[in-house]
Amino acid sequence: MDEVNAIAEGVWGRILRMKILYFLIGCAWLHIILSSQYEALMLKEQKMLMADMSFFLAGLGAVLSVLTLTFDLSKDLRQGTAIAYLSKSVSRTQYIFGKFLGTVWVGVVVTVLIAIGFFMIHNATYGSLPVVMVKAHLLIIISVLPMAAIALFFSTILSEAAAAVLTVATIWMAYSANAISSVSMLYGGIVPDLSLFNMRMEAVHGTQFGWSYIGLAFIWSVVYSVGLVSLSGIFFNKRDLG
């Protein structure tokens, strides 16, 4: 496990040290603050706009965080960093699992920071914070797991550009539950059902959903991620590197 931690630390240690990341999170917070000012435009429903904006930005932050993996892995392989690491006593499976965990941690930090900003702004503006908002944000944070697994899978078999495009396309498809729900084999199976994590509508309109739902979504995302990371491991182990 030390080897996995070392690889994971290499990923999050590097990304979380980037100043641009905090600048972008600051921009997200500013956007949330500004959206609370559209009183006339939103016919005094700007609270909903602000909540919706925070969910959108947290989701975007999660997608961008997992996309770093598609570039990171290919770059490491191309530059020889991965080869230097893999020449030590670390297996290929441990290496990609470390990359996965590091990316998940980055995604979690980014989405948590955006959510915390929103909670503080909401609380300061309206004096309260509905629990459903916290729950919906929690689901976005959990969604980092399957999304990172998708990014890892494509990066282990494809070049960085192809992996990034296919990752975005798959995530988009996975969120478009209505569009593909008729293809039962794909929906909720090979392509994950990420609409499970999309509770923006419920949160904005104050419709309650239980903690058990979040628990089940978490279990599903862990199982799906373990499956896909293992599959990625099989492909990565068979691949010629360098």
Partner 1 sequence: MQNAIEIKGLTKFYRGKFFRLSVNPSLDNLNLNIPQGCVFGFLGHNGAGKTTAIKCLMDLIKPTKGSVTIFDLPVDSKEARKKIGYLPDAPSFSSHLSPNQFLKTCAKLVGLDWQLRKQRIEEVLTDVGMLEYASNNMGSFSRGMMQRIGIAQALLNKPELLILDEPLVGLDPQGRRDLLTIVQKQKELGTTVFFCSHILSDVEKLCDSVGILSKGKLLFAGALNQLTSSDGIVVKFPAEHLAIAQSFMMQADSSKKIDDGGVALEFITNNNWQLIKRASLPSNVIIEAHHGTLEEEFFKLTGEDTPGNT
Q: Which stretch binds partner 1 (CB under 8 A): 29-37, 60-68, 81-89, 101-109?
A: 81-89
Question: What is the closest distance, in whole angstroms, from the C-beta atom of residue 2 to partner 1 in the complex?
Answer: 7
Q: Binding to partner 1 by residue 159, rule CB under 8 A?
A: no
Q: Binding to partner 1 by residue 14, rule CB under 8 A?
A: yes
Question: What is the closest distance, in whole angstroms, from the C-beta atom of residue 83 to partner 1 in the complex?
Answer: 5
| Look-up of token digits 């600048």 | 23
Q: Binding to partner 1 by residue 176, rule CB under 8 A?
A: no
Sign of CA dihedral 115, 117, 119, 121: negative
Q: Binding to partner 1 by residue 19, rule CB under 8 A?
A: no
Q: Which stretch binds partner 1 (CB under 8 A): 108-116, 126-134, 184-192, 234-242?
A: 234-242
CA distance 170 to 164: 10
| 3-state SS, residue 199 | coil
Pick the closest to residue 61 from 110, 27, 103 (CA basis): 110
Q: What is the DSSP letter of 195?
A: G
| Look-up of token digits 């914070």 | 129
Q: Binding to partner 1 by residue 158, rule CB under 8 A?
A: no
- Phi-psi region for residue 137, left (φ > 0), alpha (ψ -120 to 50) or beta? alpha
Sign of CA dihedral 66, 68, 73, 74: positive
For partner 1, the closer of residues 16 and 42 by Cβ is: 16
Site residues for partner 1 per CB under 8 A? 2-3, 5-7, 9-10, 13-14, 75-76, 79-81, 83-91, 238, 240-242
